[in-house]
Amino acid sequence: MTDGSHLVGAKGDTEAINHEGGSGETNEEQKELLDKMIHISGLIRKVSVSFLINYKGAVTFLRQEYLFVFIFIVAMAIILPFTAEPVSGEFYTTVSFVLGAVTSLASGYVGMMAATYANVRTTKECATSIGNGFVVAYRGGQILGFALVGLALLNLTLLIVVVRSLYDPQNIETEDLHIHTFRSMYEVIAGYGFGGSAVALFGRVGGGIYTKAADVGSDLAGKVVQGLEEDDPSNPGVIADNVGDNVGDIAGMGADLFGSLAESTCAALVVSATSKELMDTEGAVWFPLLITGSGIVVSFVTCLVATNI
């Protein structure tokens, strides 16, 4: 488990965490333990949401990282029309790239927020039952998995529908030009996978560097210099380490998984566009997306089995 999560100020969230107390503890002890969990998880996620939106912890890092990613996206959006578009003056590949990049950012953010909310609940449940803690952690992870696959599939489907309507290959009479049009169309759509992978690089590598630096730094300062134990609460570097785990291992992983899914699906579409037989077959283009959709259904079933049986 990566860390706790912040649930400050929400009575319903507090009750959701504290619905079951540990055996042998008084209500006062349970409340004190819960307040300590909420305080620590608040340091990891965000301390306060004031009028000026004063974020701390993982949210601060992610916002700062996304600022630089946004600059990169804008720079690439300026370059791509002159380097990657099949026809000069078009912006199809550029739009596909931006859509993939934005979806990758959303996947990372959703994953991190879901984890920081779920982890403190997992900690509370594990205090009474390891089985209950497993269920909470497993279901928290499902949010990232289903959200990023659903976003990837939805956006890619809409992108294919729009690009096909713009290219309209059915009106092409010459066979060679027909195949060339299909190839160009799916090369344009491949920009979607490129955008997802480019952003995933920032999330995975940037977050990974941060968490490793925080981990090594806190260990050196705390264990070597001060003689503290691993993850000792009196070592402030432990909070930075947990923040890095969220950003690198969860937000970065979410963006990375989305990039891999988008890349593989777009690659299948590009390869299929080289076959006239496939392109002439009604509905054949949707087969790679159908594989992804069927995987979602199977995952639902396996998740139900894992958490209810």
* Single pTM value for the model: 0.75
**pLDDT given at position 42:** 66
**pLDDT given at position 74:** 94
CA atoms in the 13 A half-sphere facing the CB of 61: 29
**pLDDT given at position 192:** 92
Burial of 74 (0-12, 13-18, 19+ CB in 10 A): exposed
Q: In 3-state terms, what secondary structure has residue 226? A: coil
**pLDDT given at position 49:** 38
**pLDDT given at position 171:** 52
Tokens of residue 103, six digits: 């979806």
Cβ 269 vs Cβ 118: under 8 Å? no
Question: Residue ranges of the domains in the chain?
Answer: 56-308
Q: Which of 290, 10, 304 is nearest to 153 (CA)?
A: 290
Distances (CA, A) of 5 to 58, 204, 209, 242, 286: 10, 21, 22, 10, 40
**pLDDT given at position 19:** 47
Q: What is the pLDDT along the chain (309 residues), one digit of tens a residue?
A: 444 433 333 434 444 444 444 444 567 777 777 777 776 666 666 643 333 344 456 677 778 888 889 999 999 999 998 888 877 777 889 999 999 999 988 888 888 788 778 888 888 888 888 888 898 888 888 888 888 888 889 999 999 888 888 876 555 555 555 556 777 888 888 899 899 888 888 877 777 777 777 777 776 777 777 777 777 777 777 777 777 777 777 777 788 888 888 888 888 888 888 887 877 777 788 888 999 889 889 998 998 898 887
**pLDDT given at position 101:** 92
